[in-house]
């Protein structure tokens, strides 16, 4: 019996060592990934590992670098499209089918591209003006954005039908009108 107890104890110890070693390696890998993300986040950049299938149908990492400010701007625009809270008496400025295909920021200008290839909202001139004004006044509240350049796909000089979007717009284009 003592041989059986010693064998069982030895096997348990080997299993525990294997588990601790595996956990330590996994924790070390996670710590490395987290430190990379922390370092990148401090610079306003997020290092993300996206998972894609390879030729053997295995998931493989592909690293992408994402600008934190662009993610924030995209989320803000998504909230504008989502509309006001259900309990609010406010009205939306966009139909919920509105799609944004790209967001980027350069030199304190937010570049926002709307995709109207499959769905183009129907606005009155006043509704279109309020939609563009809503985008510009909302985004220029962020300290890292002074102007907004709106683009549409398919390419057009007008947002929908009325508002000229050939140049970047700032809150100054609207503030004097509202006061």
Q: What is the pLDDT along the chain (179 residues), one digit of tens a residue?
A: 566 556 556 565 566 655 655 554 444 444 444 444 444 445 578 787 888 888 888 888 888 888 889 999 999 999 999 999 888 889 999 999 999 999 999 999 999 999 998 888 899 999 999 999 999 999 999 999 999 999 999 999 999 999 999 999 999 998 755 54
Is residue 124 domain-shared with residue 166, that is, in the same domain? yes
Domain with 58, as residue range(s), is 2-66
What tokens does 99 get?
Answer: 């799609």
Is residue 82 domain-shared with residue 168, that is, in the same domain? yes
135 contacts 80 by C-beta, under 8 angstroms: yes
Is residue 73 domain-shared with residue 159, that is, in the same domain? yes
**Contacts made by residues 129-132, CB under 8 angstroms, sequence distance 24+:** 129/162, 129/163, 130/93, 131/93, 131/94, 131/159, 131/160, 132/159, 132/163, 132/165, 132/169
Query: Which of 49, 66, 83 is the last residue before a domain boundary?
Result: 66
The tally of domains found in the chain comes to: 2
Is residue 8 domain-shared with residue 31, that is, in the same domain? yes
Query: Which of 26, 43, 66 is the last residue before a domain boundary?
Result: 66
Give me the CATH number covering residue 115. Answer: 3.30.300
């Amino acid at each position: 019996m003592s041989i059986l107890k010693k064998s069982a104890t030895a096997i348990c110890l080997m299993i525990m060592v294997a588990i601790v070693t595996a956990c330590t390696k996994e924790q070390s890998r996670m710590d490395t990934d987290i430190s990379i993300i922390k370092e990148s986040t401090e610079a306003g950049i997020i290092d993300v590992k996206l998972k894609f299938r390879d030729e053997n149908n295995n998931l493989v990492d592909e690293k992408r670098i994402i600008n934190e400010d662009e993610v924030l701007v995209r989320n803000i625009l998504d909230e504008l499209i989502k509309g006001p809270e259900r309990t609010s008496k406010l009205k939306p400025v966009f139909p919920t089918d509105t799609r944004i295909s790209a967001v980027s920021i350069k030199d304190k200008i937010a570049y926002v591209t709307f995709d109207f290839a499959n769905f183009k909202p129907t606005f009155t001139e006043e509704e279109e003006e309020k939609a563009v004004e809503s985008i510009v006044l909302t985004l220029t509240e962020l300290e890292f954005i002074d102007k907004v350049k709106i683009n549409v796909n398919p390419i057009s000089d007008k947002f929908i039908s009325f508002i000229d979007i050939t140049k970047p717009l700032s809150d100054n284009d609207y503030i004097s009108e509202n006061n």
